[in-house]
């Protein structure tokens, strides 16, 4: 992923603003430390901060069409770019970038190109072949990448876009998080939805629960395909491994796929030895050829590397070590202290650009871990975000009054991922120029998993009372656990103690003292007097705890405007289901329930 900043309809002399917008984009250069680029058009400026993962040597942005009339700035990855390139034989590709294919797709399909893209992306495309020049902007279906749109009362004709809020706050007095699955068109100043899967509707409260029985083989195969496509990389990659179910499943699949890729690469090199087309020979259409015979080969290490973090002796560190030993990854377990985490929180909030308590709690260890990973030379990692929303895996889901409510909450949580876990995964890692990819949010996997009868996803308040035919507890995320409780090649995906481990939220799993330490610190730094006046200071989204007050105070020190505060979304537990007000998983009554499983 990268960082983009764009302004359209800024006036007839945008060149005069070039240096200022480059300076604004520098605020997000952590997202793209490898190169910076700028395109100045007739009324527009596009700035790009590049993190080179695919097309490393030739993919600098903004990308420009051969005739110089279309410019493109993209943050993200297009996983099906090889197939899409083949559908555009008339276009002369200039780079190996997976994102360049957006230009010929625009020429063929206009803004209807967006549903064709399989990936995580935010982009701004400038078309100066028309008068007045036109801009379209879009964001991936779930909002894995970040994108903000802004407007300025001092320059009412202009529209702004940026990967991070901090690039817009000086110019814009109205800022919104660009909606996932939408495309903006300057021709009619419209923002319309292009992502319309079968499980989606305008209002989650109107969604009717599906009735499809779970096809466990299809679940498994679709998730495996999602992981495989996300191994597209020309730089070393790894996996985040907390030892929980979700990250462990992704790691297990990644190990298998990495081994297959390494074997295929060895065989391909043997087959091509002495017969490979000379580099000087180019295709008939004059475009830049891709490396290899059909696609850019992922760069793999001899063994997959995995990474975890926690307080010394934390549940996640112990579970991650066990999973890594079973999978055969080269594992790196890092520790941090509560004080180190507290010291980092102002930086974390500056990067996150939100004051949501749950997001800050979970992002801090991820932020610290990302710094360690980047220091090892890794640029991309796979992560397990999304599973809990898709399958109702958070422990509070046990309180859902019925299957319809359970499904509606799943849909609502998936729709809101861009305000929470996707934001955390994107910004905590990109703070250090590390790209996180999330296979659970693959479009094809979502289509399968979100259309499963919610009765099959529900779990009991007392899981001991419900066992399947093999004596397995019908616990949270039972169907995805069961889908991988097999060994089609003779080797299990995971040990039982990991596959059937109870849900532990990341901010809890790194060590229970972490959240407790945040709460204690907030009590020390927020006076009773200040807390009593919190509604006077913040009448909107008023903090309800000293921890929330402390976080909001730090946020305001970086982003003092109402426009900035309006983009933050707080997650509120389901009080109408009888849930505790604290968002920690430990606040749910069944957290300490025993599932009758012995540790192996």
Q: Which of 373, 310, 326, 353 is nearest to 493 (CA)?
A: 326
Whole-number Å distance between alpha carbons of 79 and 426: 17
Do the two domains 3-193 and 206-265+297-514 of this chain adopt the same fold?
no
Look at residue 470 and tell me whether its pLDDT is greater than 70: yes
Q: Which residues contact 264 (CB under 8 A, 6 or more apart)?
A: none
Report domain extents, the chain.
Answer: 3-193, 206-265+297-514
In this prediction, residue 573 has a pLDDT band, given cuts at 50, 70 and 90, of confident
Give the per-residue pLDDT at 594: 41
Q: Are 520 and 411 in contact (CB under 8 A)?
A: no
pLDDT at 583: 64
Confidence class for position 600, pLDDT limits 50, 70, 90: very low
pLDDT at residue number 56:
75
Instruction: Give the separation between CA 541 and CA 566, rounded to whole angstroms.
Output: 9
CATH superfamily of 3-193: Aminohydrolase, N-terminal nucleophile (Ntn) domain (3.60.20.10)
Q: How far apart are CA 317 and CA 46, in angstroms?
A: 43
pLDDT at position 281 is 46
Token code pair at residue 31: 């997202």
pLDDT > 70? residue 525? yes
H or E element in which residue 522 lies: helix 512-525
Q: What fold, for 206-265+297-514? A: Rossmann fold (3.40.50)
pLDDT (average), residues 208-234 = 93
pLDDT value of residue 276: 53
pLDDT in tens, 538-559: 999 999 999 999 999 999 999 9
Q: Quick one: which of 24, 77, 56, 37 has its CA closest to 430?
A: 77
Average pLDDT for the chain: 89
Q: What is the pLDDT of residues 176-206, one digit of tens each?
A: 999 999 999 999 999 999 999 999 877 767 7
Q: For residues 224-239, give the mean pLDDT.
A: 91
pLDDT of res. 395: 86
Say yes or no to pLDDT of 433 above 80.
yes
C-alpha–C-alpha distance, residues 285 and 92, integer Å? 6
pLDDT above 90 for 166: yes
Give per-residue pLDDT as tens, 382-426.
999 999 999 999 988 989 999 999 999 999 999 999 999 999 999
Mark 258-271 as b/e (b = at least 16 C-beta within 10 Å): beebbeeeeeeeee
Is the pLDDT at 341 greater than 90, yes or no?
yes
108-143, pLDDT tens digit by residue? 999 999 999 999 999 999 999 999 999 999 999 999
Residue range 233-241: average pLDDT? 89
Query: Is 60 exceeded by the pLDDT of residue 9?
Result: yes
pLDDT at 264 (0 to 100): 77
Q: Which of 31-35, 393-397, 509-513 has the lowest mean pLDDT?
A: 509-513
pLDDT tens-digit series, residues 260-294: 877 777 777 788 776 555 544 444 444 554 433 34
The DSSP annotation for 301-351 comes to -SS-EEEEEESTT-HHHHHHHHHHHHHT-EEEEEE--HHHHHHHHHHHHHH
What average pLDDT does range 494-502 have in this prediction? Answer: 92
Say if residues 53 and 233 touch (Cβ distance below 8 Å).
Answer: yes
Which residues are known to be catalytic?
Answer: 2
CA proximity to 243, closest of 494, 591, 587, 595: 494
Record the tokens describing residue 143, joined without a space: 């909002």
Percent of the chain whose predicted confidence (pLDDT) is above 90: 74
Is 583 or 551 the better-scoring residue by pLDDT?
A: 551
């Amino acid at each position: 992923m990268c960082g983009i900043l764009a302004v359209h309809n800024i006036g007839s002399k945008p060149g005069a603003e070039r240096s200022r917008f480059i300076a604004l984009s520098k605020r997000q250069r952590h997202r793209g430390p490898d190169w910076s680029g700028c395109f100045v058009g007739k009324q527009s400026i596009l700035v790009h901060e590049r993190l080179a993962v695919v097309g490393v040597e030739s993919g600098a942005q903004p990308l420009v069409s051969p005739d110089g009339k279309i410019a493109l700035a993209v943050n993200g990855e297009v996983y099906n770019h090889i197939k899409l390139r083949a559908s555009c034989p008339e276009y002369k590709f200039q780079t190996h970038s997976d994102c360049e294919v957006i230009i010929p797709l625009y020429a063929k399909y206009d803004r209807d190109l967006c549903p064709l893209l399989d990936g995580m992306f935010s982009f701004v495309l400038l078309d100066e072949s028309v008068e007045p020049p036109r801009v379209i902007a879009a964001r991936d279906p779930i909002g894995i990448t970040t994108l903000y749109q802004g407007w300025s009362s001092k320059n009412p004709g202009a529209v702004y876009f940026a990967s991070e809020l901090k690039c817009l706050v000086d110019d814009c007095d109205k800022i919104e998080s660009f909606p996932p699955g939408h495309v903006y068109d300057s021709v009619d100043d419209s923002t319309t939805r292009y992502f319309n899967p079968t499980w989606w509707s305008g209002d989650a409260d109107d969604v009717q629960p599906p009735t499809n029985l779970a096809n466990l083989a299809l679940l498994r195969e679709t998730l495996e395909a999602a992981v495989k496509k996300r191994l597209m990389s020309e730089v070393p990659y790894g996996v985040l491994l907390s030892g929980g179910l979700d990250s462990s499943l992704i790691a297990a699949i990644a190990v298998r796929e990495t081994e297959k890729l390494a074997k295929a690469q060895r065989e391909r090199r043997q087959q091509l030895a002495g017969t490979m087309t000379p580099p000087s020979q180019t295709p008939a259409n004059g475009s830049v050829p891709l490396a290899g015979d059909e696609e850019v080969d992922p760069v793999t290490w001899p063994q997959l590397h995995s990474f975890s973090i926690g307080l010394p002796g934390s549940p996640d560190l112990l579970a991650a070590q066990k999973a890594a030993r079973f999978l055969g990854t080269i594992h790196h377990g890092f520790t941090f202290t509560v004080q180190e985490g507290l010291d980092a929180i102002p930086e974390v909030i500056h990067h996150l650009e939100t004051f949501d308590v749950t997001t800050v709690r979970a992002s801090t260890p991820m932020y610290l871990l990302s710094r360690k990973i980047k220091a090892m030379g890794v640029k991309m990692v796979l992560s397990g975000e999304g599973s809990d929303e898709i399958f109702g895996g958070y422990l509070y889901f046990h309180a859902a009054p019925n299957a319809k409510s359970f499904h509606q909450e799943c849909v609502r949580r998936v729709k809101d991922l861009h305000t929470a876990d996707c934001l955390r995964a994107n910004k905590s890692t990109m703070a250090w120029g590390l790209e996180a990819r999330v296979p659970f949010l693959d479009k094809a996997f979502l289509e399968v998993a979100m259309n499963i009868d919610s009765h099959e996803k529900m779990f009991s308040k007392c899981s001991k009372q419900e066992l399947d035919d093999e004596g397995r507890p019908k616990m949270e995320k039972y169907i995805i656990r069961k889908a991988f409780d097999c060994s089609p090649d003779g080797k299990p995906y995971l040990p039982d103690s990991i596959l059937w481990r109870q849900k532990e939220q990341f901010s809890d799993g790194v060590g229970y003292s972490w959240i407790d330490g945040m709460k204690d610190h907030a009590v020390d730094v927020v006076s009773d007097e200040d807390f009593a006046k919190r509604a006077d200071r913040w009448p909107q989204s008023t903090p309800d705890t000293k921890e929330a007050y402390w976080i909001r105070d730090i946020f305001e020190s970086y982003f003092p405007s109402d426009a900035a505060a309006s983009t933050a979304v707080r997650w509120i537990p389901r009080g109408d289901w009888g849930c505790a007000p604290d968002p920690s998983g430990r606040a749910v009554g069944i957290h300490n329930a025993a599932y009758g499983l012995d540790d192996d």
